[in-house]
Amino acid sequence: MSCFSRLQRVTAALAAVALSLWPVPGTAQQTFSGATQVVVVEVPVQVVKDGEPVRGLTAKDFEVYDGRKKVPVTGFEVLDLAAAPAGGAAGPRAVPVSARRHFLLLFDLSYSEPKSIVKAREAAQKVVGDLHPTDLVAVATYTNQHGPQLVLGFTPDRKQIAAAIDTLGLPKLVDRASDPLKLVYAQAEQNRVGTGGQPVTGQTLPGPSREIKEAEQTQLLDTLSTFANAAERADATARQRDVLGLTQSFAELARLMADVEGRKYVVYLSEGFDSALVSGRSNTEPRTAEGATPPKDIGDETRITAETGASGSDARFGDTHTQNAVEGMLEAFRRADCVIQAVDVGGLRAGAEQGAQRPSGRETLFNMAKSTGGELFENFNDLSAAMGQMLRRTGVTYVLSFQPAEEVKPDGSFHKLRVELKNGPRGARVVARQGYYAPVPYRQQTPEARVLEAASDLMSRDSGEIATAVLAAPFALGGPKAYVPVVIEVDGPSLLAGRQASRLPLEIYIYALDSSGSIQAFLTQTVDLDLVKVEPVLRQSGLKFFGHVELTPGAYSLRTLVRNGITGASSLRVTPLAVPAAGEAALLPALFQEAPGRWLPAREAVKEGQQLPYPFMLKDQPYIPASRPVLTPGQESRLVLVGYNLRPGDWRTRVQVVSADGRELPGGAFKVVDKEVGGGAGPTRLLATFQPPSLPPGNYSLRVTLTDGAGKAETSSAQFAVRGAPAPGTRGSR
């Protein structure tokens, strides 16, 4: 669920021996016994004074009440966007997930003039350009016929966001990528997966010609007119029914947004529905020469703010049934900690295009914004400038963590929260969620909620209930892109924990993000496991999946998410990856060999007759690489070093063992026993043995430096784990 920390929520239902042999990356080795569950709630909080964020607060400055009980703050993190690195999703460790801002750009196609929507697209593009690189953006549309439709999920990829805004998800305007998580909208020469799981070539998206843009604009206006005209032609009864449908579908949207971790803002671009459909009287407020209603009591700034939890005036609503539906919708947004920033897109049209073509929906937009703690923006041709203050005000987020005062049952119930500031500056205002929802069993979640949860997890930090390990290395096989095999090891006992069926769909998501947060390649697949046949192998070891992506030279964050499709248990591993340029000398991480038959193998689906290369070869013989080898002190293991563009001559190697906290440790024996020199641009392969020194159980890195015949040194690092001496009857080193 949205406010539950997946980093600190632990389900220890695994056998102690399984966990002792499978260290979690970046942590000390631990052994658990029995079964327990610890739930930690994360509360993002913002403190504002005079429209600016208050900095420098500590955990001691806050008090948290779970219901009526005061609870101790057990965790505290701060995200200051003015100081946060602009590394986008490629640098996730610097950004607490619960502090990240999420913006849903929601275009109302039924209650807006088509030309208003066209102008709103331009304004939205400017808004996205001003966001911080760590902000995530999603794009959705609303029509009376179909309700809210998600065009693009929450992503840091600005190129995908721009494509989604331009086309608004309308058919024939773009060739949609087949991304089940909806993080990739339009494909641009990236790996993608079709319905059969096979990689297919994507479409290049060059800048369209003027003729194409004009044709698309005409088609867009024609399509938008069908939605707007349908709303205009409906009689009063039908229009009131449409408003009730809007409140119901928006309430469902709010409940879905509650499952998203972090700060959430719906930027609702609309002209609003006629308030007469609710109050029984038309909005007769005077309008300015530009066609917009003048703002009231807002001083020098054209903005309206309100405390979260405020409600619109009851005098504005005459129909009790509709009034209750509207208030129920707004309460759903408040409970989801989701602020509506309403944008009157009628004010974004040029003055000559405005007029009284439709009744003013300003009151409805005002009420939606005010009642959720947001603002109403109107009369702005430059929306990004209008929202600048809101972006500054929300630039500092404090994440408070606590354990609930009482047991939280997995029933989806709402638990009230209150956050108070003890030692803050006079006049400071606390903005925090009203409460949190208890978890809902995965089998009861909607498909949309499961997609959002997976996408949110993918943009998170290393976490998960399933023990996994990932190996990725760039191989040069010719062409402008490197072939990057991705080998995922999934621990069987943790994967099978809590299973309730004879078949287990294992969902695998692999996304490669560059330094700007753009998704350059992805691979997704579901492996259907018949547990009647494969459960014994899974319980003994686990599953080993072979997939690949293709990437141009550069630095990447490879994000690998594995999820049990029955229980929802998952694992995310974030792997930094550097792809060297053609002709550049490089040394890949040491590839430890392991004996065949240990794992249940699986590989990415391919077309019939298609052959994918297998790069793990030594003297024309294949070997199986270990994603995270588990070694025994004093026992030799075999490994392969792969290098490119190394000069011939007297090669020298030097190895270092580095602990998880960065300390260099002495000892260990490393010896090259065979060599395969590649010709031309082909790789050079060295077969070596490594005997780790006497080390306590835990996680380590093997740093190898190879100096070629020209005296140039190349260094790479590979992860490994150490366990104690094998018990009688158990396996030796992997």
* Angle at CA of residue 319, ends 313 and 321, nearest 5°: 105
Evaluate whether residue 699 is within a structural domain: yes
> Which pair of structure tokens corresponds to residue 301?
């700034």
Q: Is pLDDT at 200 greater than 50 in this prediction?
A: no
Other Cβ atoms less than 10 A from the Cβ of 694: the count is 10
What is the structure's pLDDT at 513? 95
List C-alpha distances in Å: 728 to 725, 731, 732: 9, 9, 10
Both 595 and 712 in a single domain? yes
List C-alpha distances in Å: 299 to 294, 303, 342, 442, 699: 12, 9, 19, 49, 60
pTM of the model: 0.81
Evaluate whether residue 6 is within a structural domain: no
Q: Which helix (H) or strand (E) holds 322?
A: helix 320-335
CATH number for 316? 3.40.50.410
> Which pair of structure tokens corresponds to residue 97?
């997930």
Both 376 and 500 in a single domain? no
Q: Give percent of the chain above pLDDT 70.
A: 75
Both 152 and 298 in a single domain? yes
Whole-number Å distance between alpha carbons of 597 and 216: 55
List C-alpha distances in Å: 498 to 213, 480, 543, 689, 704: 53, 45, 17, 40, 41
List C-alpha distances in Å: 520 to 131, 183, 190, 479, 549: 21, 11, 6, 16, 9
Last residue of a domain, one of 336, 371, 393: 393
Evaluate whether residue 69 is within a structural domain: no
pLDDT grade for 85, boundaries at 50, 70 and 90: low
Closest alpha carbon to 377 in 486, 226, 474, 265: 265
Whole-number Å distance between alpha carbons of 716 and 642: 10
The identity of residue 551, as a single letter, is: L
Closest alpha carbon to 612 in 191, 204, 189, 203: 191
Q: Is pLDDT at 92 greater than 80 in this prediction?
A: no
Evaluate whether residue 202 is within a structural domain: yes
140 with 148: CB under 8 angstroms?
yes
> Which pair of structure tokens corresponds to residue 583?
């002709």
Whole-number Å distance between alpha carbons of 30 and 140: 44
Both 527 and 676 in a single domain? yes
What is the structure's pLDDT at 175? 56
Start-end of H helices in 350-490: 362-370, 383-386, 388-393, 447-458
Whole-number Å distance between alpha carbons of 538 and 182: 31
CATH number for 686? 2.60.40.2550
pLDDT grade for 509, boundaries at 50, 70 and 90: very high
Both 519 and 381 in a single domain? no
List C-alpha distances in Å: 669 to 398, 632, 656: 48, 13, 10
Both 381 and 485 in a single domain? no
Evaluate whether residue 26 is within a structural domain: no
Both 468 and 339 in a single domain? no
Query: φ, ψ for residue 540 (rounded to 5)?
Result: -75, -40
Both 474 and 384 in a single domain? no
Evaluate whether residue 7 is within a structural domain: no
Q: Is pLDDT at 91 greater than 50 in this prediction?
A: no
Residue 639 or residue 320, greater confidence: 639
Whole-number Å distance between alpha carbons of 529 and 519: 29
Region label for 687, one of left (φ > 0), alpha (ψ between -120 and 50) or beta (otherwise): beta
Residue 131 is classified by DSSP as S
Closest alpha carbon to 2 in 36, 38, 37, 43: 43
Q: Is pLDDT at 313 greater than 80 in this prediction?
A: no
Paired sense of beta strands 338-344 and 376-377, if any = parallel
Residue 129 or residue 533, greater confidence: 533
Q: Is pLDDT at 610 greater than 90 in this prediction?
A: no
3-state secondary structure of 233: helix
Closest alpha carbon to 88 in 558, 510, 576, 515: 515
Both 340 and 480 in a single domain? no
Domain that holds residue 326: 99-393
Residue 57 is classified by DSSP as -
Whole-number Å distance between alpha carbons of 622 and 625: 10
Q: Is pLDDT at 356 greater than 80 in this prediction?
A: no
Evaluate whether residue 319 is within a structural domain: yes
Q: What is the mean pLDDT of the chain?
A: 80
Q: What is the pLDDT of residues 696-724, one digit of tens each?
A: 999 999 999 999 888 899 999 999 999 76
What is the structure's pLDDT at 484? 97
Both 699 and 555 in a single domain? yes
List all residues 6 or more positions away from 106 whose beta carbon is below 8 Å from its beta carbon: 140, 141, 142, 148, 266, 267, 268, 269, 270
> Which pair of structure tokens corresponds to residue 248?
């119901």
Residue 115 or residue 208, greater confidence: 115
What is the structure's pLDDT at 262? 86
**Mean local confidence (pLDDT), 140-160:** 92
Residue 61 or residue 311, greater confidence: 61
Last residue of a domain, one of 393, 412, 428: 393
Both 293 and 152 in a single domain? yes
553 with 536: CB under 8 angstroms?
no
Q: Is pLDDT at 305 greater than 80 in this prediction?
A: no
Last residue of a domain, one of 393, 419, 448: 393
What is the structure's pLDDT at 361? 85
Q: Is pLDDT at 618 greater than 60 in this prediction?
A: yes
Both 635 and 539 in a single domain? yes
Q: Is pLDDT at 189 greater than 80 in this prediction?
A: no
Q: What is the pLDDT of residues 220-261, one digit of tens each?
A: 666 666 666 666 655 667 878 889 999 999 999 999 998 888
Q: What is the pLDDT of residues 543-555, one digit of tens each?
A: 999 999 999 999 9
Paired sense of beta strands 62-66 and 414-421, if any = antiparallel
Q: Is pLDDT at 679 greater than 80 in this prediction?
A: no
The count of structural domains within the chain is 2
Evaluate whether residue 83 is within a structural domain: no
Most distant CA atoms of the chain, gap in Å: 90
Whole-number Å distance between alpha carbons of 96 and 430: 19
How buried is residue 488: exposed, middle or buried, by Cβ count under 10 Å (0-12/13-18/19+)?
Answer: buried
Place of tokens 């925090």: 432
